[in-house]
Amino acid sequence: MAKEPKPQEIISQINYNPPQKSWMDIPVEMKEGMFCYGAKEKSLQTLDFPNVRSWSVLEEDWKLPEKWDKIVLEGIAERLKKYRSFKIFMDICVRCGACADKCHFFLGSGDPKNMPVLRAELLRSIYRKNFTAAGKILGKLAGARKLTLNVLKEWWYYFYQCSECRRCSVFCPYGIDTAEITIIARELLNLLGLNIEWIAGPAANCYLKGNHLGLEPHTIKNSIDFLVDEIEEKTGVRVSPTFNRKGAEILFVTPSGDLFADPGTYTCMGYLMLFHELGLDYTWSTYASEGGNFGFFTSMELAKRLNTKIYAEAKRLGVKWILGGECGHMWRVINQYMDTFNGPADFLEVPTSPITGTKFENAKSTKMTHISEFTADLIKHKKLNLDPRRNDHLKVTFHDSCNVARGMGMFEEPRYVIKNVCNHFYEMPENTIREKTFCCGSGSGLNASENMEMRLRGGLPRANAVKYVQEQYGVNMLACICAIDRAALPPLMNYWVPGVDVTGVTELVANALVMKGEKKRTTNLRGEDLSVEEKADV
């Protein structure tokens, strides 16, 4: 470690008034812990993406194609024509600053280029220079600049520091959605083979094998069989899921992460228990074995490719409709983009609960219903035998996942479910939940381990609100309905708010669910002792 300077030395070194430089004059500096590793040759090749080669972020030479700048400018021109929103977002920002302090990455890092307005300016400045008269003539005076290698690297650094969460857009008086600007910027970067491996790898796996983890059919079956054994041990009930079953009424799709990593596995056990208890005529698929869509963090074209397989599989199996598990961006894709990509899914029927008869009209076109909607409807119609006291050791708060909240507008259903299966529920402060929810800091494919510092910074505003309810009410459980949250929130809590654990909502449901023929439940799904007298005993 470097020699510690003396106090006076440190004081004398600190510059209290940093010179105010224009953001354009501050070159990008790649800092360890803040970025994810570059996409591997193999992943780019599998996806049939341009500029397949091995490269390293920290090396000077990114091995770009000749005339890379021409490719980018043509890419911008094409997208200006194709996406009216992009053109509008490039033109109408008045730089009022209302969005500036609303980004969790800015709040946690203090880096001005994480202000949504500045993030967008990184691209807008190039747009002005090349596509507007004022920018062409006035240059820097009109906020325009030339596309250089440094600008490209800056794009790469900061557009992979935006989790496409859309919080900033809630505060913009013009409705400018910086997430959409990031989406386009990442498309442009991908024209040059500039992805991150944490996105390109899972997307390639999904394209090749049907899920982000690259699990093959037998592995998927083995994992679920293992969970089936676990369920039997805890409840005495043997559930019997089916796979790739033609003629089933419902196809169930969920993120593959839930098959493997805790605490997602408990949520997965929850699905299996709930569907068994209902006697649902459903099937898993080992081909459409991924709800999530890392293609969405790459380009619209790849998002479409990966989304297609869910519908192709639904068609192949001849199901009536699709039920989707707890996931974030899967729902944003379904709710906002699927219909344009692959819809309308006319070969399917409007999802209708076989238990309550409720027709989910909101899913009329996509034919895909969210597990929280489905469960809330069951509870509303009193179709589940629940003993919420089994969750009495928990003081629960709920994290609205950005994509489900802002991308889909679902706020009430998960809360309704939680309140019916838990006796102790506490909301975080108003400016940190529902449409103003703070991102976990790891969304849009940024949940690698090498950028942990960035994730912890970005997650600080969320963690800070959890800490508040921990202090006020003794909250010890953070519930969510997103698989990336279930992977990303545990380390976040571990660092900022030790003592708070993370759960999926369906895990809470399953613990409270009194199943037909179950043995006396002595532990919850995690194997922790249940101190509650069984409902039947009272």
Partner 1 sequence: MTLNDSLSKNRESIINRWFDLIVDSYPQNTADFIKSEKNRFANPVGWIIKKGIEDIFEGIIQNKSDAQFFPILEDIIKIRAVQEFAPSEAISFIFLLKQALCEKVVIENNELFAIESKIDTLAGISLDIFMKCREKIEQLKANEDRVLKKSNS
CA R_g for the chain: 24
3-state secondary structure of 281: coil
With CB under 5 to 8 Å by kind, the binding choice for 376 among partner 1, ligand SF4, none is: none
Does 109 participate in binding ligand SF4 (rule CB under 6 A)? no
Does 322 participate in binding ligand SF4 (rule CB under 6 A)? no
Cis peptide before 461 (omega within 30 of 0): no
Does 122 participate in binding ligand SF4 (rule CB under 6 A)? no
CA dihedral 477, 480, 483, 488 (to 10 degrees): -50
Does 509 participate in binding ligand SF4 (rule CB under 6 A)? no
Contact call for residues 383 and 513 (beta carbons, < 8 A)? no
With CB under 5 to 8 Å by kind, the binding choice for 27 among ligand SF4, partner 1, none is: none
Cα 393 to chain centroid distance, Å, stands at 29
Only one of the segments 156-164, 220-228, 252-260, 418-426 lies at the binding site for ligand SF4 (rule: CB under 6 A); that segment is 156-164
In single-letter form, the type of residue at position 265 comes to T
d(CA 196, CA 192): 12
Task: Kindly tell me which of 409 and 527 has the beta carbon lying closer to ligand SF4.
Answer: 409
Task: Kindly tell me which of 97 and 527 has the beta carbon lying closer to partner 1.
Answer: 97
Footprint on this chain of partner 1 (rule: CB under 8 A): 1-2, 4-5, 7, 10-11, 14, 16-18, 20, 31, 33-34, 100-101, 106-112, 115, 213-215, 260-261, 429, 431-432, 449-450, 452-453, 456-457, 460-461, 464-465, 468, 487, 491, 494-496
Does 163 participate in binding ligand SF4 (rule CB under 6 A)? yes
d(CA 171, CA 120): 15
With CB under 5 to 8 Å by kind, the binding choice for 450 among ligand SF4, partner 1, none is: partner 1
With CB under 5 to 8 Å by kind, the binding choice for 468 among partner 1, ligand SF4, none is: partner 1
Among residues 181, 378, 184, 208, the alpha carbon closest in space to that of 277 is found at 378
Among residues 351, 331, 335, 353, the alpha carbon closest in space to that of 343 is found at 335
Among residues 299, 294, 302, 308, the alpha carbon closest in space to that of 338 is found at 308
Only one of the segments 3-11, 173-181, 371-379, 417-425 lies at the binding site for ligand SF4 (rule: CB under 6 A); that segment is 173-181
Figure out which of the listed residues 44, 117, 189, 481 binds ligand SF4, where binding follows CB under 6 A: 117
Task: Kindly tell me which of 108 and 270 has the beta carbon lying closer to ligand SF4.
Answer: 108
Contact call for residues 433 and 427 (beta carbons, < 8 A)? yes
Does 404 participate in binding ligand SF4 (rule CB under 6 A)? no
Figure out which of the listed residues 28, 71, 98, 532 binds ligand SF4, where binding follows CB under 6 A: 98
With CB under 5 to 8 Å by kind, the binding choice for 47 among partner 1, ligand SF4, none is: none
Only one of the segments 10-18, 95-103, 136-144, 149-157 lies at the binding site for ligand SF4 (rule: CB under 6 A); that segment is 95-103
Name which of residues 423 to 462 contact ligand SF4 (CB under 6 A).
439
d(CA 216, CA 222): 10
Task: Kindly tell me which of 86 and 266 has the beta carbon lying closer to partner 1.
Answer: 266
3-state secondary structure of 369: strand
Does 47 participate in binding ligand SF4 (rule CB under 6 A)? no
Figure out which of the listed residues 36, 64, 179, 317 binds ligand SF4, where binding follows CB under 6 A: 179
With CB under 5 to 8 Å by kind, the binding choice for 52 among ligand SF4, partner 1, none is: none
Q: How far lies 219's CA from each of 222, 269, 299, 401, in Å?
A: 5, 16, 29, 29
CB of 530 to partner 1, least distance (A): 27
Among residues 518, 473, 537, the alpha carbon closest in space to that of 499 is found at 473
Task: Kindly tell me which of 452 and 532 has the beta carbon lying closer to ligand SF4.
Answer: 452
CB of 175 to ligand SF4, least distance (A): 8
Does 103 participate in binding ligand SF4 (rule CB under 6 A)? yes
Contacts of 535 (CB under 8 A, 6+ apart): 387, 389, 514
Only one of the segments 45-53, 111-119, 148-156, 383-391 lies at the binding site for ligand SF4 (rule: CB under 6 A); that segment is 111-119
How many other C-beta atoms lie within 10 A of the C-beta of residue 18? 7
Does 341 participate in binding ligand SF4 (rule CB under 6 A)? no
With CB under 5 to 8 Å by kind, the binding choice for 181 among ligand SF4, partner 1, none is: none
Cross-strand pairs, 283? 251
Does 105 participate in binding ligand SF4 (rule CB under 6 A)? yes
Does 282 participate in binding ligand SF4 (rule CB under 6 A)? no
Cis peptide before 344 (omega within 30 of 0): yes
With CB under 5 to 8 Å by kind, the binding choice for 103 among ligand SF4, partner 1, none is: ligand SF4
End-to-end CA distance of the chain: 63
The H or E element containing residue 375 is helix 371-380
d(CA 227, CA 75): 47
What the block records as the tokens of 312 is 């192709």
CA dihedral 404, 410, 411, 413 (to 10 degrees): -110
Does 166 participate in binding ligand SF4 (rule CB under 6 A)? yes
In single-letter form, the type of residue at position 528 comes to E
d(CA 482, CA 408): 13
With CB under 5 to 8 Å by kind, the binding choice for 117 among partner 1, ligand SF4, none is: ligand SF4
State the residues that interact with ligand SF4 by CB under 6 A.
Answer: 93-99, 102-103, 105, 116-117, 119, 162-168, 172, 174, 176, 178-179, 182, 439
